[in-house]
């Protein structure tokens, strides 16, 4: 690891004696070792503060998160231990120019995705024109028959998306996953900013960072605008306190000033949705649901689940209640379908995609299959029906046996696999270690949150959840893999106030 060779004592005097990893994009240092212009103020602050100063700020930040109970539940622990989501005090800085470019790309992508969903659940032109193979949709586990033929308000299926992006070697943003079902993490983004404004107010002010705290307002406005009722009753539907994201559900409900409900608080009568209150039944117009498709209605979907509301699917089909996101968005949020999003952008918008995405080789394509089989060591192999990293194989890290087993599996059922080149996630300086702390490069991704008020009215919150893999060399940023987060600072345009 080409880190600084200087002594520990020297390092703590000068924490930014830091070497970026070669072959990876670093958010603070250009390849020639110079500090990127937008990060000069941050670097001089870190050098002035020193390692001990940073550690002290880190302790303040951790304490602030713990006291407020900003925690997630660890499923593996049967006592339901609540832990804080690790947080790194060194922020990520993104210039207005880069952000603007990213925003345009995200808007274009979500516009096409909403149009694609509308098409899939109505005429299916894209299939008839043979741009997307029909079996891709027919075989998808996330295709939702209940949504077929439903006219959703304003053509919006994906009200909230949390698109996962990485930066490639040259620093361009690349889409990794679209997360169109029930994306989470926005509460951490909002709380990270609150903690930073408490711990580093001067630095934040100096940077002229764009605000993120209006997110609940944007979300509420978007949800309200979906209803034909001028004063709609909106609720947030949560699976309950044992869900790992319960904190976020209760946080968003409180911030929006709407009721947080569980399935057992609701009932459907005569195809209308009601909540059970102390003064009888109150009609509900819009449900921002944080419960997965297969659990929202035990009659239409899984009968063994008590999380949902019997009859909700029928009320939805009748147009008496709005569900955000619409059931069935997962059909597009699929590893094989991902490969077709650029084609969908061209098909519906007649534009070239503005955002790059990771090239995907599909086992089902005869021209891709020989390449996959002969380049396993350089690829990440993903089963199309897997999620959450299950069944995923990173070729460069796999043993000979794993490689030959996977090869055999692909040969037997090539349509069940896709392959992507191993991604070189960008790095950011991060405070690591406790006893001998240091500022070292760690890999990051970025999840911006996008809210659709209409097919061509999409707002991207200027910020995003930056997740960081705290373990050295780790490319997986998930919190279950020891990942943490950083505050993301999108700078104001020079002309903006």
Binding site for another protein (CB under 8 A): 69, 146, 240-241, 250, 253-254, 259-262, 264-265, 267-271, 274-281, 297, 299-300, 310-311, 313-314
Give the residue carrying structure tokens 């700020």: 57
482: Cα separation from own chain's centroid: 17
- Using the minimum distance from each CB to another protein, give the nearer residue, 281 or 358: 281
Which of these, 192, 290, 195, lies nearest to 246 by C-alpha position?
Answer: 290
- Using the minimum distance from each CB to another protein, give the nearer residue, 146 or 344: 146
Q: How far is the CB of 236 from another protein (least distance, A)?
A: 11
- Using the minimum distance from each CB to another protein, give the nearer residue, 163 or 245: 245
Task: Specify the pairing of strand 393-394 against strand 379-383.
Answer: antiparallel
- Using the minimum distance from each CB to another protein, give the nearer residue, 85 or 340: 85
Helix axes 186-199, 246-256, angle to 10 degrees: 80
Q: How far is the CB of 326 from another protein (least distance, A)?
A: 17
Joined tokens for residue 132:
């997307």
The span from the CA of 406 to the CA of 395, in Å, is 10
The span from the CA of 420 to the CA of 174, in Å, is 13
Q: How far is the CB of 88 from another protein (least distance, A)?
A: 27
- Using the minimum distance from each CB to another protein, give the nearer residue, 30 or 267: 267
The span from the CA of 151 to the CA of 133, in Å, is 24
Side-chain-side CA neighbours of 67 within 13 Å: the count stands at 7
Q: How far is the CB of 215 from another protein (least distance, A)?
A: 18
- Using the minimum distance from each CB to another protein, give the nearer residue, 44 or 277: 277
Q: How far is the CB of 136 from another protein (least distance, A)?
A: 24
Q: How far is the CB of 279 from another protein (least distance, A)?
A: 4
- Using the minimum distance from each CB to another protein, give the nearer residue, 229 or 277: 277
- Using the minimum distance from each CB to another protein, give the nearer residue, 115 or 315: 315
The span from the CA of 21 to the CA of 39, in Å, is 18
Q: How far is the CB of 280 from another protein (least distance, A)?
A: 6
DSSP 178-235: ---SS---HHHHHHHHHHHHHH-HHHHHHHTBPP-TTHHHHHHHHHHHT-SSSS--EE
Q: How far is the CB of 59 from another protein (least distance, A)?
A: 20
Strand-pairing partners, residue 458, are 452
- Using the minimum distance from each CB to another protein, give the nearer residue, 274 or 449: 274
- Using the minimum distance from each CB to another protein, give the nearer residue, 162 or 216: 216
Joined tokens for residue 94:
């993104």
The span from the CA of 265 to the CA of 239, in Å, is 11
- Using the minimum distance from each CB to another protein, give the nearer residue, 63 or 254: 254
3-class DSSP state for residue 327?
coil
Q: How far is the CB of 232 from another protein (least distance, A)?
A: 17
Cα angle 77, 81, 86; round to 5: 105
Interior/surface letters 164-178, b for 16+ CB within 10 angstroms, e for the rest: bbbbbeeebbbbbbb
336: Cα separation from own chain's centroid: 18
Specify the DSSP class assigned to residue 450: E
Q: How far is the CB of 347 from another protein (least distance, A)?
A: 33
The span from the CA of 234 to the CA of 220, in Å, is 8
> Peptide bond before 325: cis, by omega within 30 degrees of 0?
yes
Q: How far is the CB of 231 from another protein (least distance, A)?
A: 19
Specify the DSSP class assigned to residue 6: S
């Amino acid at each position: 690891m080409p880190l600084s060779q200087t002594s520990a004592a020297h390092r703590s005097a000068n924490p930014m004696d830091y070497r970026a990893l070669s072959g990876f994009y670093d958010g603070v240092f250009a390849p020639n070792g110079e500090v990127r212009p937008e990060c000069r103020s941050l670097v001089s602050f870190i050098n002035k503060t020193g390692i001990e100063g940073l550690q002290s700020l880190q302790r303040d930040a951790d304490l602030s998160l713990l006291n407020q109970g900003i925690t997630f539940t660890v499923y593996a622990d049967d006592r339901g231990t609540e832990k804080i989501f690790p947080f790194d005090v060194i922020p990520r800085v993104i210039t207005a120019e880069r952000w603007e470019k990213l925003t345009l790309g995200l808007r274009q992508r979500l516009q096409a995705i909403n149009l694609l969903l509308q098409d899939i659940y109505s005429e299916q032109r894209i299939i008839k024109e043979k741009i997307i193979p029909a079996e891709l949709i027919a075989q998808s586990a996330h295709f939702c028959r209940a949504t077929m033929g439903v006219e959703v308000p304003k053509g919006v299926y994906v009200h909230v998306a949390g698109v996962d992006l990485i930066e490639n070697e040259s620093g361009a943003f690349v889409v990794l996953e679209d997360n169109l079902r029930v994306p989470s993490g926005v509460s951490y983004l909002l709380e990270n900013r609150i903690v930073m404004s408490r711990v580093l107010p001067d630095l934040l002010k100096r940077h002229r960072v764009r605000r993120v705290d209006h997110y609940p307002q944007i979300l509420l406005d978007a949800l309200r605008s979906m209803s034909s009722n001028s004063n709609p009753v909106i609720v947030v539907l949560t699976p309950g306190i044992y869900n790992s994201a319960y904190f976020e559900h209760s946080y968003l409900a409180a911030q929006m000033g709407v009721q947080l409900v569980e399935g057992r608080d609701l009932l459907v009568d005569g195809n209308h949705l009601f909540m059970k209150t102390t003064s009888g039944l109150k009609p509900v117009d819009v449900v921002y649901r944080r419960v997965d498709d297969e659990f929202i209605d035990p009659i239409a979907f899984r009968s063994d689940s008590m999380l949902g509301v019997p009859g909700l699917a029928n009320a939805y089909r009748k147009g008496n209640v709005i569900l955000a996101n619409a059931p069935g968005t997962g059909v597009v949020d699929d590893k094989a379908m991902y490969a077709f999003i650029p084609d969908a952008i061209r098909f519906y918008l007649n534009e070239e995609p503005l955002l790059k995405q990771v090239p995907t080789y599909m086992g089902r394509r005869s021209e891709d299959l020989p390449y996959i089989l002969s380049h396993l060591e350089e690829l990440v192999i993903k089963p199309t029906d897997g999620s959450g990293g299950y069944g995923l194989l990173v070729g460069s890290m796999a043993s000979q046996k794993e490689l030959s087993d996977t090869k055999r599996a692909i040969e037997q059922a090539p349509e069940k696999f896709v392959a992507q080149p191993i991604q070189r996630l960008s790095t950011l300086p991060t405070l690591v270690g406790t006893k001998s702390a240091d500022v070292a490069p760690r890999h990051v991704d970025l999840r911006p949150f996008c809210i659709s008020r209409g097919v061509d009215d999409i707002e991207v919150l200027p910020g995003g959840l930056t997740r960081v893999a705290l373990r050295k060399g780790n490319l997986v940023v998930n919190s279950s893999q020891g990942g943490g987060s950083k505050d993301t600072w999108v700078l104001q345009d020079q002309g903006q106030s």
